[in-house]
Amino acid sequence: MKSNSTTDPSTKDYSQLARWLCLFEAVNIISDKAEKMGYTADCLKPIPINKYIGERYHSVLKDVEYEFNNNHHTHHHSSRTH
C-alpha cells in the first residue's frame, strides 16, 4: 500500500519550497553585498542567481526535509483568537 503524500510528512515533496528558499537566500545575499558596497542600481542578475540556486538546491532541500521530518510533531499551530 502506498503512502498518501498529503498526510504522511515523510513522503512530501519539498523541492518547490527549497527552490524558493534558495532564491530568497540569493536575493538577500546580493542585496546585502550591494548595500555594503554602496550600489543603488539593480544588482540582481538572472544567470548568477540561477547558478547559485543550482549549487545550493540539494543542500537546502536536505535541510528542509530534515527540519520538516524531525519537527513535524513538535510544532503545533494554535487556532486561538485574541
Residues 17-64: tens digit of each pLDDT? 999 999 999 999 999 999 999 987 888 899 999 999 999 999 999 999
- Helix or strand or coil: residue 4? coil
Total residue count of the chain as it appears in this document: 82
Please check whether residue 69 is in contact with residue 9, taking contact to mean a CB–CB distance below 8 angstroms: yes
**pLDDT score for 82:** 46
Q: What is the pLDDT of residues 64-77, one digit of tens each?
A: 999 999 886 554 55
For the chain, the structural domain boundaries read 13-71
pTM, rounded to two decimals: 0.68
Angle of helix 15-37 relative to helix 46-71, nearest 10 degrees? 130
